[in-house]
Amino acid sequence: MAEVALTGVGKVYPDGTRAVTDLNLAIADGEFLVLVGPSGCGKTTALRMVAGLEEISEGEVTIGDRVVNRIPSRDRDVAMVFQSYALYPHLSVRDNIGFGLSLRKLPKAEIRAKVDRAAEILGLTDHLGRKPRNLSGGQRQRVAMGRAIVREPQAFLMDEPLSNLDAKLRVQMRAEIARIQRDLGVTTIYVTHDQTEAMTLGDRVAVMKKGELQQVAPPQELYDRPANLFVAGFIGSPAMNLLQGTLNADAENPGLAVGGQHLTLPREVLRDREGLRAYQGREVVVGIRPEDMEDAELAETADGARLRSTAELVEAMGSDVLVHFAVEAAQVVTEDTKELARDAGTDVLGSLDAPRTDMVARFSPRTRV
């Protein structure tokens, strides 16, 4: 196990495509770091540079106390787990897991013991004699994990390892990976485009966009204090509602003009009058998490600002009900508890309450529906 550090790392492919720009990340010994971002943001490229599968154009990658830029992949002491499990179809589960160790010519008894232990951790003991084609997707993914575990590497590097599994298995394996990583304490970098996976797995999550790191923070901090609009919109499902508004900080009733409506500002925000003045008369973006809106009957405070609109679409999701409504051009989604059945066409009334952050541009309102 080791710390992995990327310092000023950049990648320009031979055809001139810039995939990663000035990436700085320090992953602590034993930490689980998730790299997340939309397709093409450079996360796979970043991981492959750490793995030694892609040349590093700029900057430095260190694993433990070694700069590995010029060290070939096989000598970096890291284990990759890919989305395609890359198992050998003609080999048994036991031989697949032990393959790397056999190549290294470890004594047979030692290989056997290591494979047995990995199989036990992964719940594969009863399947060691089988061939990959006779396994389920989840079991195949476990075999791929097993191959990484037996190598006892300094770091696990995982590239979308769950994306070939169906939704239910994905959730199950996600918990499994979290457990295994915790038990083994191996430094892990995990790439995914799925923000739910990122939030549930990572000790910290690094959000990338167009080759650049946007923010790296523990999941809750990312959620509560997104560093910019991209992170605010990317993290959270359903996504944060982002509304354009104009701030009027000087008025007797300071607030925001949003979609032709006036929103009173939450008390906590009003306290920072100086901070507000900087935004006077300017266009700002109001971010409202869907789950921060609630039904008029359940609202804790009655004195907040209100957003009035009409429910356009109601989606019953079982535990939650999503209500879509439009505020001028913006589409807003609110998350309601299921006992509050809603019909499209009902009036929607929202009120701002406590702010989630200290930024003028973001509030966490309780919205009355």
Q: Using CB under 6 A as the criterion, which residues of the chain lie in contact with ligand ATP when the complex forms?
A: 13, 15, 17, 19, 37, 39-45, 193
Residue 227 contacts residue 235 (beta carbons within 8 Å):
no
Cβ at position 58, least distance to ligand ATP in Å: 15
CA 147 to chain centre: 25
Shortest Å, Cβ 35 to ligand ATP: 8
Residue 340 CB neighbours (<10 A): 15
Tokens describing residue 180:
């295994």
CB within 8 A of 165, min separation 6: which ones? 137, 138, 141, 173
C-beta closer to ligand ATP: residue 54 or 294: 54
Select from 204, 199, 197 the least CA-distant residue to 172: 197
CB of 324 to ligand ATP, least distance (A): 28
235 in helix, strand or coil?
coil
Q: What is the closest distance, in whole angstroms, from the C-beta atom of residue 46 to ligand ATP in the complex?
A: 7
Instruction: Tell the smallest beta-carbon distance from residue 366 to ligand ATP (Å).
Output: 36
CA 193 distance to own-chain centroid: 7
Distance of CA 77 to CAs 93, 153, 340, Å?
A: 23, 5, 54
Residue 292, Cα to own-chain centre: how many angstroms?
Answer: 20
In the structure encoding, which two tokens stand for residue 78, read together?
């890291």
Rounded Cα gap, residues 146 and 97, in angstroms:
6
Q: To the nearest whole angstrom, how small is the minimum distance from the Cβ of residue 239 to ligand ATP? A: 18
Q: Which is nearer to ligand ATP, 39 or 319 (CB)?
A: 39
* Least distance between ligand ATP and beta carbon 198 (Å): 12
Return the residue nearest ligand ATP (CB atom): 44
Residue 194 or 312: the one with the smaller Cβ distance to ligand ATP is: 194
Cα-based distances in Å from 286 to 150, 195, 219, 259, 357: 49, 22, 21, 11, 11
**Smallest separation, CB 15 to ligand ATP (Å):** 5
Q: Which is nearer to ligand ATP, 19 or 333 (CB)?
A: 19
The C-alpha atoms of residue 59 and residue 69 are separated, in whole angstroms, by 9
Instruction: State which residue, 12 or 314, has the beta carbon closest to ligand ATP.
Output: 12
Q: Which is nearer to ligand ATP, 46 or 243 (CB)?
A: 46
Residue 256 β-bridge partners? 247, 263
User: Closest approach of Cβ 200 to ligand ATP, in Å?
Assistant: 18
Between 45 and 214, whose beta carbon lies closer to ligand ATP?
A: 45
Diameter of the chain by CA atoms? 81
Q: CA-CA distance, 258 to 264, in Å (whole number)? A: 11
Of residues 99, 98, 50, the one with CA closest to residue 78: 50
Are 185 and 1 contacting, i.e. CB atoms less than 8 angstroms apart?
yes
Residue 193 vs 366, nearer CB to ligand ATP: 193
For ligand ATP, give the closer residue by CB, 15 or 274. 15
Is the previous residue joined to 238 through a cis bond, with omega within 30 degrees of 0? yes
Place of tokens 């290989």: 111
